[in-house]
Amino acid sequence: MKAHDIHIAGVGYHPFGRFPGTSLKQLAATAALAALDDAGIAVRQVDAAFCANAYAGLLNGQESIRGETWLRGIGFGGAPVVNVENACASGGTAVHLACLAVASGQYDTVLVVGAEKMFVGDTGRTLAALANSADTEVMGQIGLQFSAVDAIRVREMMAEEEDVGATAFEWVTVKNHDHAVSNPIAQYRKPLTTEQVAASRMIADPIRLLMCSAISDGAAALVISRRPGRGRVRVRSSVIASSPWRLEPGDLPGPTLAADRAYAAAGIGPTELHLAEVHDAVSPAELMHYRELRLCGPGEVARMVAERATALGGRLPVNTSGGLNSRGHPVGATGVAQLIELTLQLRGDAGPRQVPGARFGLAHNSGGWIGEDPAASVVHILEGGR
Query: 210's torsion region: left (phi>0), alpha (psi -120 to 50) or beta?
Result: alpha
- Confirm whether 51 is a catalytic residue: no
The order of strands in the sheet holding 48-52 is 81-84, 48-52, 109-117, 217-225, 7-17, 234-242, 376-383, 360-367, 275-277
Annotated catalytic residue, options 7, 14, 329, 380: 329
Amino acid at 44: R
Closest residue by Cα to residue 369 from 114, 95, 138, 52: 138
Virtual CA dihedral for 321, 339, 256, 158, nearest 10 degrees? 10
Amino acid at 272: E
Maximum C-alpha span of the chain? 57
- Confirm whether 99 is a catalytic residue: no
Residue 197: count other Cβ atoms within 10 Å of its Cβ: 21
Q: Give the helix ranges, DSSP H, for 165-214.
A: 166-180, 194-199
Annotated catalytic residue, options 88, 99, 212, 296: 88
Name the residues annotated as catalytic.
Answer: 88, 329
